[in-house]
Amino acid sequence: MMRYVIVGYGIAGVSAVREIKHQDPEGRVVVITPEPLPPYYRPLITLLIHSPETPIELDEEDAGAEFFTDRAVALRPEEKVVVLASGRKVHYDRLLIATGGVPYIPPVEDLPSQGVFTIRNREDALAIGRYSERCKSAAVIGGGLVGIKTAEALQKRGLEVNVVETMEEILHGRLDKKGTGIIRHRLEEMGIKIYTTQTVNRVITREGAPRELILSSGKRIEADMIVIATGIRASIEWMSDSGIKVSRGIVVDEYMRTTIEDIYAAGDVVEFPDLLTGSSLVSGLWINALQMGRVAGSNMAGGSSRYPGALSVMNAAEIVDIPFISAGIIEPSNGLELIERQRPAYRRFIFEDDVLRGIVFLENVERAGLYINLIRSGRRLGRLKEKAIEGVLSYADLWGQDSRH
Ligand SMILES: Cc1cc2nc3c(=O)[nH]c(=O)nc-3n(C[C@H](O)[C@H](O)[C@H](O)COP(=O)(O)OP(=O)(O)OC[C@H]3O[C@@H](n4cnc5c(N)ncnc54)[C@H](O)[C@@H]3O)c2cc1C
């Protein structure tokens, strides 16, 4: 009987286990996870900051696996063994590394030990919510998706919230300028203050907790607590002596195999070429982690699934009650055509001739899945291009006739 070991039970680990159990119901699956069960929908954890009872658990029927609540601290491929923090050694026939990402903390002078948080796990969000009860103001360092979701949650909790972002705009790389502008305006209307092209030079503390931040412009902002949301690093330190090839993340092939036999990796822990640009990336996106996990699980159980590659821009989120979806190339470069529509809601399309390369949909995200499939497939649209732009394209249009001419 095959013994599968899964390290990390985020969405990549969860979807791998589902796939293994589907293909090899007799196989023995061991999951190593430091987080309490059940697994949950990580993109929703910021809701726990203001509403700790929000149900965010993944609908996970009995996974049919054995769970060790522990953390992997070393990997010895020559013995086919994972070493856990408790000292236990777990043998595998096939191993999946799905340890996700860890928050990156930039160097900031005088960061106090109290009142400073990062946000990755459910427990982090709950701790931020509890601490915020004693605070009037907060600073979120980093205006990406995680930072903005956190700012929104803290504002809902009644705090005065400041966001400090080094780039020219918040949500950098997630949305185009116009889309970002619409969301920024809504955030500012709610009272969230946003400081772009600024860094934090110093933190002024009182009794070991934050009090004020001094920004690179010299501006001083009040903050009784700080949340750092400046991106993630692949969580690979624990296996750094294993001999597996890593760069920014674990290097895998399209079958999600690492450079060592019988060891697979999936999710935020791997780096993978972008489907459109070919440049390597650590995806940081839920849907990519889910798909990679599925491919890895299938291949571990004897299949031969291929992961076609990630779209580095591939977001489906809702911020300040504005749902948005962006995918593929969102800023046109040489040879690409930009088409925008303002009504009934803001939509932007990037075309290369009649091939769709990217979209941004704000407020009305209807049929976005169909457009994302088009981007992935690279299909020529011919005369259906106009229908696509007007939002009246259907699956029947695409599958019912040959649109190449
Ligand atoms: C606040 C927030 C908001 C987000 N919003 C969005 C969004 O709107 N859209 C989107 O696409 N994505 C979003 N993301 C990103 C998304 O959640 C991740 O891309 C996704 O969860 C990655 O899944 P994963 O399984 O690769 O890793 P993870 O979900 O990080 O799971 C990895 C698991 O491995 C465990 N682990 C780590 N080290 C070890 C070890 N040594 N031994 C054992 N276990 C270990 C971790 O504790 C964790 O449980 C958001 C993330 C956060 C934090």
Question: pLDDT tens, 217-258?
Answer: 999 999 999 999 999 999 999 999 999 999 999 999 999 999
Q: Which atom of ligand 1 is nearest to the CA of 8?
A: 34
**How far apart (Å, rounded) are the C-alpha atoms in residues 336 and 330?**
10
Instruction: Please give the distance, rounded to the nearest whole angstrom, from the Cα atom of residue 395 to the centre of ligand 1.
Output: 32
Q: Does residue 101 have a pLDDT over 80?
A: yes
Dump pLDDT digits (tens) for 250-285: 999 999 999 999 999 999 999 988 777 777 878 788
Q: Please work out whether the CB of residue 149 comes within 6 Å of at least one atom of ligand 1.
A: yes
Instruction: Quote the pLDDT of residue 404.
Output: 43
Instruction: Quote the pLDDT of residue 61.
Output: 64
Instruction: Please give the distance, rounded to the nearest whole angstrom, from the Cα atom of residue 399 to the centre of ligand 1.
Output: 36
Q: Please work out whether the CB of residue 27 comes within 6 Å of at least one atom of ligand 1.
A: no
User: Mean pLDDT over all residues of the chain?
Assistant: 93
Instruction: Quote the pLDDT of residue 347.
Output: 95
Choose one of 44, 48, 99 to mutate for the ligand 1 pocket test, by most ligand atoms within 8 angstroms of C-beta. 99
Q: Please work out whether the CB of residue 8 comes within 6 Å of at least one atom of ligand 1.
A: yes
Enumerate domains of the chain plus CATH numbers: 3-44+57-102+233-300 (3.50.50.60), 116-230 (3.50.50.60), 321-400 (3.30.390.30)
Please indicate whether residue 277 or residue 30 has the higher confidence score (pLDDT).
30
Which residues are paired to 362 by β-bridges?
A: 324
Q: Please work out whether the CB of residue 296 comes within 6 Å of at least one atom of ligand 1.
A: no
Compute CA 296 distance to the chain's CA centroid, rounded to the nearest angstrom. 18
**How far apart (Å, rounded) are the C-alpha atoms in residues 151 and 56?**
19
Instruction: Quote the pLDDT of residue 211.
Output: 96
Mean pLDDT of all residues in 193-206 = 96
Contact 180, 202 (CB under 8 A): no
Q: Which atom of ligand 1 is nearest to the CA of 12?
A: 25
> Which residue has 């063994």 as its token pair?
81
Instruction: Quote the pLDDT of residue 261.
Output: 97
Dump pLDDT digits (tens) for 348-385: 999 999 999 999 999 998 889 899 989 988 999 999 99
Q: Please work out whether the CB of residue 246 comes within 6 Å of at least one atom of ligand 1.
A: no
- List all residues 6 or more positions away from 103 whose beta carbon is below 8 Å from its beta carbon: 118, 119, 120, 228, 229, 230, 231, 232, 233
Dump pLDDT digits (tens) for 294-323: 999 999 999 999 998 777 677 788 888 899
Instruction: Quote the pLDDT of residue 16.
Output: 97
Q: Please work out whether the CB of residue 175 comes within 6 Å of at least one atom of ligand 1.
A: no
Instruction: Please give the distance, rounded to the nearest whole angstrom, from the Cα atom of residue 58 to the centre of ligand 1.
Output: 13
**How far apart (Å, rounded) are the C-alpha atoms in residues 12 and 105?**
24
Q: Which atom of ligand 1 is nearest to the CA of 32?
A: 43
Q: Does residue 128 have a pLDDT over 80?
A: yes
Dump pLDDT digits (tens) for 322-355: 999 999 999 888 889 999 999 889 999 999 999 9
Q: Please work out whether the CB of residue 7 comes within 6 Å of at least one atom of ligand 1.
A: yes
